[in-house]
Amino acid sequence: MQNEARLLHVTGTVQGVGFRPFIYQLAQAHGLFGYVKNLGNYVEILIEGNPDSLESFLRDLPEKKPPLAKITELKIKNVLFSAYSKFIIVPSEPGAFENSIIPPDTAICEQCMSEIFDSASRYYHYPFTVCTNCGPRYTTVRTLPYDRENTTMADFPLCVECETEYTNPLNRRYHAQPVCCPKCGPEIWLSDYEGNVLAKGYEAISKASDFLQQGSILSVKGFGGFHIACNARKEEPVRELRRRLVRPEQPFAVMAKNPEVVESFAELEGAGREYLTSRRRPITLLSMSKEFNLAKSVSPDLHNIGVMLPYTGTQNLLFDRVPDAVYVMTSANLPGRPMVIENKEALEKLNGIVDFHLLHNRVIANRNDDTVIRIVNGRAAFIRRSRGFVPEPVELPFEIEASIGVGAEMNSTVTVAKGKLAYISQYIGNTNHVETFRYHSEVVRHLIRLTGIEPLHWGCDLHPAFNTTRFAMNMGGKNTLQVQHHHAHMLALMADNSLPLDSRMLGIALDGVGYGSDGTVWGGELFESSYFGYERLGHLLSQPMPGGDLASKIPSRMVLGILFERLGREELEKLPLIFPQGAMEFSTIMKQLEKGVNVVQSSSTGRVLDAAATLLGICGIRTYEGEPAMKLESAARNSIRIVDLPLVFKKAEKSGVPVLDTTELLLGVYELLGKYSSADLAFAVEENLAKGISELAITLAAKRGLETIGLSGGVAYNDHITSCIAGTVREAGFEFLAHRQVPCGDGCISFGQALAAGLRVEPEGKA
């Protein structure tokens, strides 16, 4: 049989994941000759040998690839036989590195874990132990190509033993850029709040563990930033942490050693278990078990809790002496601000918050917060897509020109895209804060530099006052496209589900706030949407928000706004509402509503849910984003009977499109107060609102001849509402779409903006 040759180009996550040594070993196993080399944005492979061996090699390549490798495209071409005498790994060549994919940070693998706990290993108790199958990647990268000298590991020259492993193609640490050992790698130490060193190495971790058990509060430096940790099993340290952070109610994520410990306080099954235990190690929201045995103040008045397993060597070693421990692990930042990443910064900014610091001297090149996932309607929904997933690209169902989306204001991300790949940044936060906006600008520059994509087109929000909007206008000039907030949601949803370029669907966007093309605040929208435009076909009734944004922080204002025209002042005064300034504030709001002064109109679904939570006495003041609606959902889970509430549709006065009258819904709650439990009425609000939205969507879709109905927006994180909409839509014979790879909240906005800009969509174009 005559020998033949194949030339392969492999695109995807194939750098820094042991791909070239895998190819080397696979070629040897099949008796093939040739070479493998890295060309920046792809790997080139030449294999030569008998045809049967070539075919076996090609079958095994995608099936047996390294665990962190991801192949997005494999091109195979027959070429002339060159008669190589062996198979070799060719050193990296300088390339354009455009669309070069850096692997995300992943949890320490089982092999490295076993070495850390093996007293005979040179890696014994060394927390920075890694190989090609695990460890930090993205958070270490300063520039491309992804070689050690371009990462923060350049600060730690390899010792002889590590150099030997690093240069041996048969070793699992071959070209693992973060590889190191106690002789040549980063150091870890424990300090007091003033920075005085108390212990080093494993002793530092052991003392930190002891301090946590005793009730102290510590900062712990990880891959992409700092956590603040305390003992989650005891009320006193958790309450003290809340006092120091001034976070009276916001839920804390916790970390446990393994699934067995998690099962002692949370329900762990199905997709929740799958994501929690994956090598990406996201924070996974799980329902609390009946035997919940942690401090109740970890997640006040909620039915679920954010849980993650340890993903660094340090975190695993913190459980070495107390395997049944559970620690609060919350990001070291103020809400909406960037997470702390530098030792000096931690000592300064966390002064008065933590008692001790567990520090190391590896620089964090890229801040990267924990990913947060919730299982909604049986599948994973990203609340925050960050560590473990970034900068892994999202594949597009079509090609677009080089573009960038700069995101919204809250929960912001950045997306750069070109061809069929879109790179969504890590979670950034609230760009209304100067510090976060500065970080946003850094992320833009870094993402452009790492991907090599110079954007020709810029996409931003329609809101003129957003810092991100002004930034894009300044950077992109005439090549900047302003994209309506909820159309960005729809574009992201369509591409997330790989809908082709000529697709149309009925899109439901339910969230807290989005600047509408008519100058009002939108948030309960039904669109006919395509990639090139949208038409607003229906929405929730626009409701008055007295005091504007204050109504989102003090939801009692929304109750007055919604019920003002239906109830007299005397009745409104009797409602169980909370105002920080008491009767004086109530009177001021009534005057605002009577005169129409300082009142913003909003069709927001989030504000309606907030108002219901307040009217039912579930949450009077919002202390963190989404709190009233989240507590409403938790309360609804305790419902024991079905309650019907009014569903009234009418025509909007100006546009003439159908609207769902949420005043009637809330008035129904008011009339049933005291007749049913708050849990029953909370369930009824969610159920009837979801059914009303579903019925309107089904009617509009049928009228327009649309076969697909999709849901996006922050309200889609509500499992009850989403499941009800999905079930109703499917029962009516329509296809239902939800997000798959990107958040359904504002974390997807930059993705939708980049798509609109790259497709050069006309603003306010009709679907």
Location of structure tokens 């897509």: 385
Cis bond before residue 145 (omega within 30° of 0): yes
Catalytic pick among 3, 6, 38, 171:
38
- The Cα–Cα gap between 316 and 56 comes to 40
Two tokens at 764?
């306010």
430: which residues sit within 8 A by CB, 6+ positions away?
335, 336, 337, 409, 410, 411, 412, 436
Which tokens sit at 50? 């008998």
Give yes or no: 38 in active site: yes
* Residue entry with tokens 């927001």: 604
Which entry of 3, 6, 20, 497 is annotated as an active-site residue?
Answer: 20
Cis amide leading into 391 (omega within 30): yes
Only one residue has tokens 């810092």, namely: 467
What pairs with residue 642 in β-bridges?
Answer: none
Q: Which residues contact 372 (CB under 8 A, 6 or more apart)?
A: 253, 282, 283, 284, 285, 306, 382, 383, 384
User: CA–CA separation, 594 vs 754, rounded Å?
Assistant: 43
Structure tokens of 132? 């090609």
Beta carbons within 8 Å of 269's beta carbon, 6+ residues apart: none
Residue 168 CA to residue 652 CA, distance in Å, equals 71
Q: Which two tokens stand for residue 567?
A: 């109830």
Indicate left, alpha or beta for 626 from its phi (over 0: left) and psi (-120 to 50: alpha): left
The dihedral formed by the CA atoms of 119, 125, 130 and 133, expressed in degrees to the nearest 10: 60
* CB-CB contact of 660 with 693 (8 Å): yes
Inter-residue contact 507 to 534 (CB < 8 Å): yes
Q: Tokens in use for 65?
A: 């690839």
Residue showing tokens 């909604």? 376
Q: 574 in the Ramachandran plot: left (φ > 0), alpha (ψ -120 to 50) or beta? A: alpha
Torsion, Cα 757 761 763 767, to 10 degrees, reads -140
Question: How far is Cα 452 from Cα 96, in angstroms, rounded to an integer?
Answer: 7
Give dist(CA 368, CA 692) in Å, integer.
39
Contact 351, 193 (CB under 8 A): yes
How far apart (Å, rounded) are the C-alpha atoms in residues 557 and 546?
Answer: 6
429 DSSP β-pair partners: 412
Distance of CA 349 to the CA centre of its chain: 25
Active site residue 142: no
Which has the closest alpha carbon to 370: 308, 278, 430? 308
* Tokens, residue 483: 């994209």
Closest Cα partner for 101 from 405, 412, 390, 363? 390
Number of residues assigned to the chain: 767
- Residue 622 phi/psi, 5-degree rounding, is -80, 120
Active site residues: 20, 38
